[in-house]
Structure 1
Amino acid sequence: MKASYGDKVFYAVNYTVLTIIALTCLFPLVHIAALSLSDSSAIMSGLVTIWPKGWSLEAYGALLQGTNILGAFKNSLIITLVGVVLSMLLTTLAAYPLSRKYFYARKSFTLLMVFTMLFGAGMIPTYLVVKSLGLIDTYFALWLPGLISTYNMLVMKSFFENLPEELQEAARIDGCGEIKILARIILPLSLPMLATLSLFYGVQYWNAFMNVLIYINESDKYNLSVLVQQMVQSQSVMQELSDFQPEDIQNITPQSIKSAGVMVMVIPMLLVYPFLQKYFVKGVLIGSIKG
């Protein structure tokens, strides 16, 4: 169907507005990247906007050698990988039985889980529970309190409900139990949804900040979010580069160090997202048709 003049104007306005919004969101990240790759003289002169001036990697070298950025990166990786595996496993084990029409009292269990989205215990009661379990200064304090996202569980439940029941019935006729049906039928057909929810959980754990500040007291267990925040807030970031001599950091500015730290924290998610982007919209939309 040929678009009318009004449709063309509408599309043009939409594309223009969305392009402006996208550029507005993208500009801070591009600016930070430019600062991290620019020469100190250009940064101090205020010449850096969206393109690096006097390309330099000294800020990244100082960051890697003078701070615990590698240790924090390893901690973030552990928190994210283990957290995603545990969360996806428990979310799947919760969503699958609730998606079965023959599961007894499934509506009651679903309502109880939805109730947790409306009310929370609060920071202090949660901290007291975590402390009583002896989880302070362990990563289990980051994993256990939010192991299952009710929203993600409902998305997965709706996705499972939309899968053809004929396939599952055929598997039962062939002698498959519930575990085999889940592992061999349901999960292979749910890759878009699994990739999408894994991305949700991955971003959540990678960007964990408040929970780390509350439950982790040992600085060598901090993740990238906390380390970079401390660098950004620090007024003496250059003095903290203990492995560098004064002459080694004379061409480095605090802005470039902080910008390099932000980029080290952001780049992993930017690298992962393109591989999961094709599943992103499909997984969420299909999983939200019902429920």
Structure 2
Amino acid sequence: MKDSFGDKIFYACNYGILLLIALTCLFPLLHIVSLSLSDAHSIMSGIVTFWPRGWSIESYRQLFENTRIIPAFGNSAVITLVGSAISMIMTILTAYPLSRAYFIGRRFFTLAAVFTMMFAGGMIPHYLLMKQLGLINTYWSLWLPAAVSVYNLLVLRTFFANVPEEIEEAARMDGCGEWRMLMRIMLPLSLPALATLTLFYAVGYWNSFMSVLIYINETHKYNLTVLVQQMIRKQSVLTEMVYAQPDDVAEITGEGIKAAGIMVMIIPMLIVYPLLQRYFVKGVMLGSVKG
């Protein structure tokens, strides 16, 4: 059916609003990229907007040579990879039984999980619990509390429940048990949902900030997010870095180094997201809509 004039106006307004929203998200990123790749004179002159001026990678060189950016990057990678693996295993093992109609008590356990979305113990009880368990200053204090996201659990549970019953019945007739059903039938059919939830967990662990500040005491265990925040907050550290080598004073600025640190922090997620993007919408929609 041909769109009416009113429909065309409606679509044009929608596209215009979405374009403005996209630009408000894109412009800050372009500005940070430009600052990180511009020379000190252009940055101090305030002429850098959305395109680098006086191209230079000196900020990145100083960042990698004079800060703990590489160890912090490694800490972030460990937190993200191990945490995402633990969370996905726990979420799968929880979602599968809750999706089975013959699982006794599944309504009770589902409601108990949903209850935690609305009510939580709070920061102080969480800290005291981690302290009693002896997990302070270890990454387990980051992994265990975030092992299962209830939202992700409900999405995967619904996805498992939507798998056609005929497939399950055929597998049962071939002698398929619960573990083989999960590993050989459910998981291969749930790749869109698994990829989507893995992305959710990975982004959450990679951007861990407050939990690291609360539970991790040793600075050499800090992740990239906390390190970059400290660089931004402690301008004196950047000033000392700039003036540590007099010959390079004209080549770097604190703003350029901060921008380079921010880029190092966000580039991994910018690389991972396009790889999983094709699963993203499909995984969320199929796992969120019953029927």
Task: With the length of structure 2 as denominator, give the TM-score of the two structures.
Answer: 0.98
| 1:13-92 alignment, distance < 5 Å | 13-92=13-92
Matches within 5 A, 1:112-261: 112-241=112-241, 245-261=245-261
Displaced runs of 4+ in structure 1, greater than 2 A?
237-246
Cα distance, 1:146 vs. partner? 1.4
Separation in structure 1 between the aligned mates of residue 240 and residue 148 of structure 2, nearest angstrom: 38
Q: Secondary structure at the match of 1:41?
A: helix
DSSP-derived class of the 1:19 partner:
helix
- CA deviations over 1:110-147 (Å, ceiling 9, x no partner): 01111110100000010000011111110000000111
The 1:225–1:175 alpha-carbon spacing in structure 2 relative to 1, beyond 3 Å, is same
Aligned partner of 1:278 in structure 2 is: 278
1:71-128 CA-to-partner distances (Å, cap 9, x unmatched) read 0000000000000000000000000000000000110110111111010000001000
Q: Deviations over 1:23-67 (max 9, x none)?
A: 011111110110000011011111100000000000000000000
| Structure-1 separation of matches of 2:47 and 2:36 | 13
> Residues of 2 paired with 1:143 and 1:210: CA distance?
14
Structure 1: any 5+ residue segments left out of the alignment?
none
Residues 251, 227 of structure 1: alpha-carbon distance in 2 compared, 3 angstrom cutoff: same
Q: 1:168 is matched by which residue type in structure 2?
A: E
User: How far apart in 2 are the matches of 1:203 and 1:35?
Assistant: 24
- Is residue 41–residue 250 contact of structure 2 (8 Å, CA) maintained in 1? no
- The gaps in structure 2 that reach 5 residues or longer are none
AA paired with 1:110? Answer: T
**Paired AA for residue 4 in structure 2:** S
Provide the alpha-carbon RMSD of the alignment: 1.4
Report the residue type matching 2:278 in the other structure: K
For 1:237 and 1:54, the matched residues in 2 are separated by 25
| Cα distance in 2 for residues equivalent to 1:134 and 1:77 | 23
Query: What is the rounded CA distance, in whole Å, between the counterparts of 2:272 and 2:223 in structure 1?
Result: 18
Q: Quick one: distance in 2 between partners of 1:264 and 1:282?
A: 29
Q: Greater CA deviation, 229-238 or 139-148? A: 229-238
* Pairwise CA distance, 1:240: 4.9
Per the TM alignment, residue 249 of structure 1 is displaced from its structure 2 partner at its CA by 4.0
State the secondary structure of the residue aligned to 1:241.
helix
Contact 1:212 1:226 in 2 (8 A): yes
- Provide the residue aligned with 2:262 in structure 1: 262
- The residue identity in structure 2 corresponding to 1:100 is R
Residues of 2 paired with 1:63 and 1:175: CA distance? 58
Is the CA contact 1:62–1:244 (under 8 Å) kept in the aligned structure 2? no
Structure 1 residue identity aligned to 2:226: V
Say if 2:42 and 2:48, in contact at 8 Å, map to a contact too.
yes
Call closer, same or farther: CA 1:242–1:129 in 2, change over 3 Å: farther
Residue identity opposite 1:30 in structure 2: L
SS in 2 for 1:198: helix
Alpha-carbon shift at residue 150 of structure 1 (Å): 0.5
Q: Which residue of 2 aligns with 1:108?
A: 108
